[in-house]
């Protein structure tokens, strides 16, 4: 892991920290803003609604009280005949008291629309032409109205001066309404709402003070909660940073929230893959060194043996040189396979895709392998359900089938059997290579695609295996967006199953690689020119 994290440190210096963007991208700021928004807005709306409801309620009560008092005054006006004798001190006192109590004005209007009395002593004797007054004279109590003028701050009330006619005889001195009322006039009153508005303003000021206090409390709570809610993510970030900087390589734990647990799980999986990749890389380097050194050591021993004995017979020279030639062939084969593997591991690998008849390709491969099978009397059989053509890289697919069929022959028993089956559906084609050979132990099945892994090292050396063949096969299959699986029963045989899409799926990496190759070729041709 040391190399892995050392390499990552060099990249961190140039990409440390998130991009500096808008402040609102911060989760902490967003939580703070949401708490502030959903804390203050409902509180302000509620307080304004309560204040508005309070004012409307108080105005309604004031209007109802004023209407009740005006009806009492209307009865007294009829009782004392005030419309005919406006100098009655008792009624005048009641009118003045009403005007003073409600900080308003009262006009007593007769049925001729003349002002009999005015508590402000301004309009006495004048004629009032008002739609509400005329309507009230005509319709009586049914036309009683009240109107609140918010702009000027008063309540206007119109009440008829009327009495209900008796059944035995009706008073015909006034105007008779349809409902049996006798209407003598109208009381027109304006009630000031200055005290109500003053109280409303005072409450509004208190509301502002409470709102400021509430704002401070909500800001405090928003800061605290945003910090507490984001704290697990901050801890998680610090732990990931420690891993990134190489201070720790252990799996991290942060289960405060489901979300942090998911992030932790995903990161630990990536960390595990990185650790496995680093271990695999170290093993690969170690194995490559060992595998390349072994033939060199053998050739060194053989050469030293020849040089140490000047009287070595020619037959021994030939035998030793044959062994050296064999070791050189093995070295060349291993280097070639390493180069193939390195090419496939590169993201810019070039895929030469063409439409290939898979059945014909298998027949060609089996024809090449058949002499090897005949030496040990191994039967090679191709079972083809239907004619299959697919978009593949012919060279890489030939390498896949050659490796699998050769392995099925090499690791088979004498007089054994190898069956190659080809089938397809509307989406994929499937090739299975099944043998009756020695099989693979259960604990080794999962590792057969690892580089340099050999189930039986002594047998692998006998048949010239390098431990890279199946790794190359898997890489080539994955380049075709396919899959390969293995099933084996130790001592009975092994079956490899390859599934490849009929239509090659072009990826961005493949397109980029192709463009790079074309660019290199064009550059090379330009240089030649």
pLDDT tens sequence across 206-252: 888 888 888 888 888 888 888 888 888 787 788 778 777 766 666 76
- Residue, of 379 and 194, whose pLDDT is higher: 379
Task: Say which CATH class 353-523 falls into.
Answer: alpha beta
CB–CB of 117/89 below 8 Å? no
pLDDT of 154 > 70? The answer is yes
- Spatial CA neighbour of 105 closest among 187, 184, 190: 190
- How deeply is 41 buried, as exposed, middle or buried, from its count of CB atoms within 10 A (0-12, 13-18, 19+)? exposed
Parallel, antiparallel, or unpaired: how do β-strands 145-149 and 353-357 relate? unpaired
Residues of the chain by 3-state class (helix, strand, coil), percent to 5 = 60, 15, 25
Architecture of domain 24-165+173-243: 2-Layer Sandwich (3.30)
Q: Could you read off the pLDDT of 36-48 as tens digits, one per residue?
A: 888 888 888 888 8
pLDDT of 460 > 90? The answer is no
CATH number 3.40.50.720 given to 258-345: no
Q: Which two tokens stand for residue 508?
A: 């961005």
pLDDT of 375 > 70? The answer is yes
Crossing angle of helices 469-479 and 394-410, rounded to 10°: 150
Q: What is the mean pLDDT of residues 142-153?
A: 86
CB–CB of 418/370 below 8 Å? no
Domain residue spans in the chain?
24-165+173-243, 258-345, 353-523
Q: Minimum mean pLDDT among 155-164, 227-236, 327-336: which range?
A: 327-336
Is it true that 24-165+173-243 and 353-523 share their CATH fold?
no
- Residue, of 9 and 337, whose pLDDT is higher: 337
CB–CB of 372/391 below 8 Å? no
Give the contacts of 405 (CB within 8 A, at least 6 positions apart).
365, 366, 369, 380, 418, 420, 433
Please state, in angstroms and rounded to a whole number, the distance separating the CA atoms of residues 278 and 2.
9
- The pTM of this model reads 0.46
Q: Which two tokens stand for residue 378?
A: 């191994």
| HEC string for 461-503 | HHCCCCCCHHHHHHHHHHHCCCEEEEEEECCCEEEEEEEEECC
pLDDT at position 347, please? Answer: 56
Instruction: Return the C-alpha torsion angle 263, 266, 270, 276, nearest 10.
Output: 130
Please state, in angstroms and rounded to a whole number, the distance separating the CA atoms of residues 135 and 188.
12
Calculate Rg over the CA atoms of the chain: 52
Task: Give residue for tokens 């693979």.
Answer: 440
pLDDT at position 332, please? Answer: 80
| HEC string for 403-442 | HHHHHHHHCCCCCCEEEEEEEECCCEEEEEEEECCCCCCH
pLDDT bucket at 364, cuts 50 / 70 / 90: very high
Q: Could you read off the pLDDT of 62-83 as tens digits, one per residue?
A: 899 989 999 998 898 888 888 8
pLDDT of 372 > 70? The answer is yes
Q: Could you read off the pLDDT of 185-215 as tens digits, one per residue?
A: 999 999 988 888 888 888 888 888 888 888 8
């Amino acid at each position: 892991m040391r190399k892995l994290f050392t390499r990552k440190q060099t990249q961190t210096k140039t990409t440390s920290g998130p991009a500096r963007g808008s402040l609102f991208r911060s989760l902490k700021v967003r939580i703070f803003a949401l708490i502030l928004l959903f804390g203050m807005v409902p509180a302000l709306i509620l307080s304004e609604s309560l204040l508005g409801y309070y004012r409307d309620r108080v105005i309604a009560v004031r209007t109802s009280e004023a209407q009740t008092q005006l009806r009492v005054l209307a009865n007294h006006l009829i009782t004392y005949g005030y419309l005919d004798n406006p100098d009655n001190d008792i009624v005048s006192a009641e009118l003045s008291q009403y005007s003073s109590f409600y900080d308003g004005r009262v006009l007593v209007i007769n049925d001729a629309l003349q002002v009999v009395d005015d508590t402000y002593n301004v309009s006495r004797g004048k004629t009032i032409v008002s739609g509400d007054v005329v309507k009230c004279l005509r319709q009586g109590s049914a036309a009683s109205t009240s109107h609140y003028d918010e702009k000027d701050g008063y309540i206007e009330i119109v009440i008829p001066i009327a009495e209900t006619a008796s059944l035995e005889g009706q008073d015909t001195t006034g105007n008779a309404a349809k409902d049996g009322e006798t209407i003598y006039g109208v009381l027109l009153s304006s009630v000031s709402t200055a005290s109500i508005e003053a109280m409303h303003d005072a409450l509004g000021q208190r509301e502002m003070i409470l709102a400021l206090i509430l704002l401070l409390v909500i800001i405090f709570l928003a800061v605290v909660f945003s910090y507490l809610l984001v704290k697990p993510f901050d801890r998680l970030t610090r732990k990931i940073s420690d891993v990134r900087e190489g201070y720790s390589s252990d799996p991290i734990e942060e289960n405060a929230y489901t979300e942090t647990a998911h992030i932790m799980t995903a990161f630990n999986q990536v960390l595990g893959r990185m650790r496995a990749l680093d271990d695999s890389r170290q093993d690969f380097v170690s194995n490559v060194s060992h595998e390349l050194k072994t033939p060199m050591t053998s050739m060194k021993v053989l050469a030293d043996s020849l040089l140490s004995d000047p009287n070595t017979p020619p037959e021994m020279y030939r035998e030793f040189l044959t062994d050296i030639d064999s070791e050189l062939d093995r070295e060349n084969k291993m280097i070639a396979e390493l180069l193939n593997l390195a090419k496939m591991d590169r993201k810019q690998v070039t895929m030469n895709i063409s439409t290939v008849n898979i059945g014909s390709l298998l027949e060609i491969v089996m024809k090449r392998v058949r002499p090897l099978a005949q030496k040990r009397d191994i039967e090679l059989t191709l079972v083809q359900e239907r004619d299959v053509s697919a978009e593949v890289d012919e060279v890489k697919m030939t390498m896949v089938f050659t490796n699998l069929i050769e392995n099925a022959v090499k690791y088979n028993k004498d007089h054994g059997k190898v069956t190659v089956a080809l089938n397809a559906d509307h989406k994929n084609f499937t090739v299975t290579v099944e043998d009756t050979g020695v099989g693979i132990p259960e604990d080794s099945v999962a590792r057969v695609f690892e580089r340099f892994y050999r189930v039986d090292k002594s047998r692998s050396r006998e048949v010239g295996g390098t431990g890279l063949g199946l790794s190359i096969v898997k890489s080539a299959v994955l380049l075709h967006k396919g899959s390969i699986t293995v099933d084996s029963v130790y001592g009975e045989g092994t079956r490899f199953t390859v599934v490849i899409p009929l239509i090659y799926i072009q990826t961005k990496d493949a397109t980029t690689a192709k463009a790079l190759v074309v660019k290199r070729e064009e550059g090379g041709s330009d240089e030649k020119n």
